[in-house]
Structure 1
């Protein structure tokens, strides 16, 4: 046996990527691409190029491109919800906690995630997996807002009223953030635009959410 052959045989092989690691790699590539370029950019070739793998490998690990888009959306917005809830949870006073939640949602620092939401609402009209994911995540956000509203509202406020206020808050936050993507509407913190509405709904003193 030649020395060259022995050296080649002795060369250590690169560790093989496990199926779990490969799936995570493809998912991470899809999420990064969605945040940078939008959900519309998630094509088989684009995700493969971002992950540094062949298109056939993406097709192998993704049940369908529709499901890959839905999964990327879910991961992105669920992570945002967890982050926002953690941020608000450290505020001890209920009214201040509500203020922190609204201020965080309207500070304009999450335009990339807002863009993903806007894309999802559009694409989901023709994608059942994405439509289901959007409904699930909107329900999760609604529940999170109800939880914070309940802590700040009078104890006598009925649950159905809290649900209604939460729906209004969610609609206003989504609308203001979507408008902000194209520079429409007043400049400055969006909190001031909805604070008085929420204060009235919860019978809070004027300025309670903007002090």
Structure 2
């Protein structure tokens, strides 16, 4: 439904409007920092009154927390799409899809069809400059979560979700004999800690850390999964 006359504005449903607010806040948080997310700033970006944003988010902390989740969830879905569970099974260690063995021969950076290909693609993406903004966002959120309980709940939830996403791929690779790992959950936690550890320096001494830290998280993953050095590197070309 729209108003009549020039300059007509589309009337959005509450669900659409809320999504728009969160998405806009997520973009601000990702590019400028979570501290820059305010009701007024989001309203200015959307060209609406701040009272409209406040109607959906009376507390700015709730908007900041949901913006963080929106941004990191979108990033995770792009980096490592959720591994499908087998029909009739549940849990994180039963996620090998039919035909996943074929994916062991797919080293490319496109659609990875198997566990090995999926992790090669994952590590290729997180080693690029495109991952820097989300690394800064995580660092920012962990710092602020010390003082913001609502944000802390979202940070913990996302940490567990990222671990579970990695765990499911690892478990699938164990089933296809691509990986050798007795505890996929523990391996996933250690892999994520390695990723976060190298990302902790994202705001400082970049010129000094770039060389020594290149491939550290990938090397940790190769060790955890019983792979030879370089096995998770994307094939050249």
TM-score range, shorter chain: 0.7 to 0.9
- Which consecutive segments of 4 or more residues in structure 1 shift more than 6 A? none
Task: Tell whether 2:204 aligns with 1:209.
Answer: no
Question: C-alpha distance in 1, partners of 2:215/2:38?
Answer: 40
Deviations 1:82-110 (A, max 9, x none): 11124978223533332221221222312
Larger helix percent = 1
> TM-score when scaled to structure 2?
0.73
8 Å CA contact 1:107–1:189 kept in 2: the answer is no
Structure 1 residues 42 and 15 mapped into 2: Cα distance closer, same or farther (>3 Å)?
closer
Structure 1 residues 27 and 145 mapped into 2: Cα distance closer, same or farther (>3 Å)?
same
Structure 1 residues 75 and 41 mapped into 2: Cα distance closer, same or farther (>3 Å)?
same
- Residue range with higher mean Cα deviation, 147-156 or 134-143: 147-156
Higher Cα Rg, which structure:
1
- 1:187 is matched with 210
8 Å CA contact 1:149–1:162 kept in 2: the answer is yes
Query: How far off its partner does 1:176 sit?
Result: 1.4
Question: C-alpha distance in 1, partners of 2:228/2:180?
Answer: 17
Deviations 1:108-162 (A, max 9, x none): 312222222111111111222211111111111001111222233457743xx22
The count of residues paired between Structure 1 and Structure 2 equals: 200
The within-5 A match list for 1:61-210 is 61-86=56-81, 90-153=111-174, 157-158=181-182, 161-184=183-206, 185-188=208-211, 192-210=215-233
Task: Tell whether 2:31 aligns with 1:36.
Answer: yes
> TM-score when scaled to structure 1?
0.81
Extract unaligned runs of 5+ from structure 1: 1-9
Extract unaligned runs of 5+ from structure 2: 82-107
